[in-house]
Structure 1
Amino acid sequence: MFLKLHAVFSLFLYAAAFLASTLLASSISRITDIGNLFDFKRFLAISVILSSVLILASPRQLRGARLQPTSIVALLTFFILGMISAINSAKPYWGMVELANCGLLLIAFFTCCICMNYVSKRSLFRGVYIFVAAFSLLFLMQFVIKLLIHMLEAKKPGMFSLISGFDNPRILNQLQVMLLPLLLLPFITLSLAKYQRLSVFLMAIHWMAMIQTEARGAILSLTLAGALVLYFNRAADRKTILKPLAQSILVGLALWAVLIVVIPYLLIGETNLRFRTGSSGRAELWLYALNSIRDNFWLGLGPMSFAWAEGKPLFNAHPHNSSLQILYEYGFLVFLVLLIWVTRALHIALKKIDSDLHRETDTVVLFSILSALCYSQLSGVIVMPITQLMLVFLIALYHYQSNTCNISIKMRWVIPASALLLATFIYSTYEHQQLQHLKMPRLWQHGLISPK
């Protein structure tokens, strides 16, 4: 009983951290000495991971995730070649810091899996749905309040002016591509069926917000991921997902047209209606990364090296493309290993949808993971602290109670010690003298690193 309560409490801390670092961040960060939202989120993410490893102190036997041999090989290759790349880079210290953060995220995956194994499937997914619904309702409240203020002050709603709690509104879009598919849970889980209408409305709110913030990449990612999931799904089950998605898109478009276009036009006499067609500087960053990869094709220029790269067309600390980021920083060998590993894992997962071994909840969780991976090709999903943690949580959720093994006494000492060591190492880099005071986050808000 104590173990179950500890597991539930740890998962509750994850949910609380997500809310505290997003919609409630502006209010909560004021009571801390941390100067900006991004650094507050990084501290919060690391602290939650540290708190979750306490479950390993339980005197009872624990069960966690058993990694497949291919996963072990891929991860070992990543860390070994990553360390070699870091040692040979211009900034070995910062390369090791990036690898330390990756190690901490791996620990987060293991502890999430352990916690989830001691919660029933019904309770776990009910809790996930309650969290996503609560996040969506809080977001709706903030959105409506901001919109009313704009109307009372006769202001046109800007692209990001209705969003609060995010140092970068694109982080909201990164979370939306992962959270929106989870709102489909009532359509495939009988215990949540009474919330189907609420889900359609909440999904519509997210579609409206994505249209308002001109999140073209997020909409495209959800579309591609949804198409993949529907293609591999049973023909009889496709309608279960497609119908509520289509309904929510139509309602979202209608809400956007009424609240963002028509009403402001009637009250103010003008609107901010426009459609961007440019790449927002991404194309230039990608070309720069592709041209620079040749400098060290096999091992890359070192983990986090994009943060101190010279001659970039923009000051961004990452290229807004996970594939190019891995190629640039870790090299072709690591990129090839990870590409084969991820492609194989996704192919197995997609083929499993149409098999008798498939769990109905896997569909929406896989939808969320695929959406995040698609959006990582256009945004910093694998860089931002809260989206990193959310993606790790979703992967652990997909592996819920599958292929488990007993956690040895030795590992129950090694994992917490490693987490504490890695977290201390990362904490020590806060406000480091080499961090330039330009708001281009990578690890911390001042994410650019002096090239000298």
Structure 2
Amino acid sequence: MADRSPRYQSKSASPQIKRVRPNRLESSSQSAIAGLWLAAGWIIPIASDFDFRRLVITGPLCLVGVMVAIGGRKPISGSTALFFIALLLIGLASSAAGSLTSWNLLEVAYTLLLALVATYGVAPALIGLPLRPERLILLTTATPIVLACLSAAIAIYASLLSNFPLRFPEPIGNYGNIRFFNQYQTWLLPFLATALALLNPLTRARRGFWIASIFAVGIFFWALYWRSGGRGTGYATLLATTAVILLHGRAGIRHAMLMALLAAAGYIAYLVMCFHGGQGPTDHLLSTSPNGRLYLWRIAIEYIRLHPWLGIGPMQFAAIDTGLASHPHNAVLQWAVEWGLPAAALFVSGIGYLYFKWIGIARRLVTRDDSSIPPALVVAVTASLIAGGIHAMVSGVIDMPASQFILVTVAGLAGRIALTAEPARVNDYCPTRFDAAIDLVVRAIVLTASLYVGVFTAYDYWHRPHSPKPASAVYLRNTYQPRYWLDGTLTGLTPHPLPPRVSRKSD
């Protein structure tokens, strides 16, 4: 493997990776952020239910936001800050124009926090960790995969002891919806191939033990995928794997071969373990039914036609009486229908810019002979980002807590790699007075958003168990369509009717 060649092993002393040593305050802040974020990542796969996962990600998200706002010396650059300020202003205008302003502001603040924490919290924190790439992957992605598999194995063992057969979607039914687990897998599956290609991170264990362990975990993780039969994850992973072959040549081919090996072995393991009950994997995987997506897209497009500039309000698709889902199963349509077309254009342009910038950096790193970053890690991040982006076009990847957490983590990994690969540009950055002023503004925004999200979540969660549930037919028809909490609730507050040109879906 290219990653285990002398070229890769000698890079720890490479002169290309000189970094300015952070001061004590910044170093402490980065260590706290890294520890807090990684701990949350280990809890999510073993969490008991959807709402607890929401708390697990929201708490660290708000705390990291506060640390970013008040700790450290790294400036928030003017150009990036202006982008976030523009989104904030559009989000505030959309929130004021829509109903349920407090929930609208929650979505605006939460969305900005996800982006800002990934950019200015998680990425710098991962840079500050004195870890080799293989140990970084072990902490950020391999450990959550192991814990998810352990949780499923315990469910299988309990079923065997009780002589009670598993029914679909068990043994992975504690995510609120089996597709939320699939979204989680979409981000993580590419890193199994990376773990096989990297050096052994366990200093007291033989490499053979590490390889055998990752094979066992990877095969079981893929077996869980085949059990779930998630089309979105399968197609997104297949397309992303094809993309890295085209983008990264030999490194991409190695990645694809390891992915195919694990997928095939996982399918065999699935058949051997006889995960039966309700439906088989091919029933859904081979289906061509849109499963209501066209109906949701028609609703979104019709509301975009009625409210093109500011949308119906952030998170307000969840208040539409669809009887099917709380989001349109398409990230671009969701931004357009809720925030308006200008905001959607900003989202798409910003993400598109980052995608193309990352692809350029990744291709250089994979082909360079003086890089300290193993090609397998670069390829896995590329595959994960592409797969997550594709899956977001047909599902709620950007909405559900488990996938939101991994989204931020993978974005942070990409940021760490990019900033480590080009340290001179970061170290030579000299902020102007304008940059300093913008930096203060954005830090104030991050602090305000963190406090608002934290207070809103704590207050709402505390009162939720003690509040009577709405008894209206609208609420009952739309219950358990998660957007923020598992039970939805927005349609029970101020339900939006279906657009005039869209009739209710009969099925």
TM bucket normalised to smaller: 0.7 to 0.9
In 1, Cα distance between the equivalents of 2:99 and 2:176?
30
1:49 aligns with 2:61: yes
In 2, Cα distance between the equivalents of 1:63 and 1:94?
32
8 Å CA contact retained: 2:109, 2:449: no
8 Å CA contact retained: 1:320, 1:377: yes
In 2, Cα distance between the equivalents of 1:422 and 1:9?
20
1:212 deviates by 0.5
Unmatched tracts of structure 1, length 5 or more: 27-36, 265-269
Identity level (%): 20
1:434 deviates by 11
Per-residue CA deviation, residues 239-266 of structure 1 (Å, 9 max, x unaligned), is 32122111101101110111126xx7xx
1:152 deviates by 5.8
Partner residue of 2:320?
309
8 Å CA contact retained: 1:140, 1:205: yes
Q: Of the candidates 232, 237, 261, which is equivalent to residue 217 of structure 1?
A: 232
Partner residue of 2:494?
451
1:99 deviates by 0.7
Q: Pick closer, same or farther for the CA change 1:56–1:257 going to 2, 3 Å.
A: closer
Count of paired positions: 427
Per-residue CA deviation, residues 9-55 of structure 1 (Å, 9 max, x unaligned), is 432322222332331x22xxxxxxxxxx3332222222212333565
Q: Of the candidates 269, 276, 279, which is equivalent to residue 290 of structure 2?
A: 279
AA paired with 1:329? E
AA paired with 2:229? E
1:231 deviates by 1.0
8 Å CA contact retained: 1:113, 1:399: yes
Q: Of the candidates 428, 437, 440, which is equivalent to residue 481 of structure 2?
A: 440
Partner residue of 1:332?
341
| TM-score (norm. length: structure 1) | 0.82
Partner residue of 2:403?
387
8 Å CA contact retained: 1:229, 1:350: no
8 Å CA contact retained: 1:81, 1:334: yes
AA paired with 1:245? M
In 2, Cα distance between the equivalents of 1:82 and 1:72?
15
1:100 aligns with 2:143: no
Partner residue of 2:386?
370
1:177 deviates by 1.1
SS at match of 1:354: helix
1:120 aligns with 2:130: yes
Unmatched tracts of structure 2, length 5 or more: 1-23, 496-507
Partner residue of 1:12?
35
Partner residue of 2:141?
132
In 1, Cα distance between the equivalents of 2:293 and 2:95?
25
Partner residue of 1:230?
245
AA paired with 2:136? G
AA paired with 2:265? V
Q: Pick closer, same or farther for the CA change 1:112–1:300 going to 2, 3 Å.
A: same
Alignment of 1:14-413 (within 5 A): 14-23=37-46, 25-26=47-48, 37-53=49-65, 55=67, 62-63=73-74, 66=77, 69=79, 71-109=80-118, 110-122=120-132, 126-151=135-160, 156-190=165-199, 192=201, 194=207, 195-233=210-248, 235-260=249-274, 272-273=279-280, 275-276=283-284, 277=287, 278-310=289-321, 312=322, 314-356=323-365, 359=373, 360=375, 361-400=377-416, 401-402=419-420, 404=426, 410=440
1:304 deviates by 1.0
1:425 deviates by 3.9
Per-residue CA deviation, residues 111-144 of structure 1 (Å, 9 max, x unaligned), is 223322321351x651332453333333333333
Moved more, 168-177 or 106-115: 106-115
8 Å CA contact retained: 1:319, 1:325: yes
Moved more, 7-16 or 212-221: 7-16
Q: Pick closer, same or farther for the CA change 1:178–1:281 going to 2, 3 Å.
A: same
Partner residue of 2:17?
none
In 2, Cα distance between the equivalents of 1:42 and 1:3?
28
1:384 deviates by 1.4
1:96 deviates by 1.6
8 Å CA contact retained: 1:322, 1:382: yes
* Cα RMSD, aligned residues only: 3.3
1:207 deviates by 1.9
Per-residue CA deviation, residues 306-359 of structure 1 (Å, 9 max, x unaligned), is 01124x2x2422122212211211222222232222223212322333225774
Partner residue of 2:20?
none
Moved more, 322-331 or 188-197: 188-197
In 1, Cα distance between the equivalents of 2:299 and 2:443?
44
8 Å CA contact retained: 1:126, 1:192: yes
AA paired with 1:258? V
AA paired with 1:306? F
Partner residue of 2:455?
424
In 2, Cα distance between the equivalents of 1:237 and 1:288?
43
In 1, Cα distance between the equivalents of 2:258 and 2:89?
45
8 Å CA contact retained: 1:300, 1:332: yes
8 Å CA contact retained: 1:300, 1:331: yes
8 Å CA contact retained: 1:158, 1:272: no
8 Å CA contact retained: 1:201, 1:248: no
Moved more, 241-250 or 154-163: 154-163
Q: Pick closer, same or farther for the CA change 1:155–1:422 going to 2, 3 Å.
A: closer
In 2, Cα distance between the equivalents of 1:54 and 1:332?
31
8 Å CA contact retained: 1:157, 1:272: no
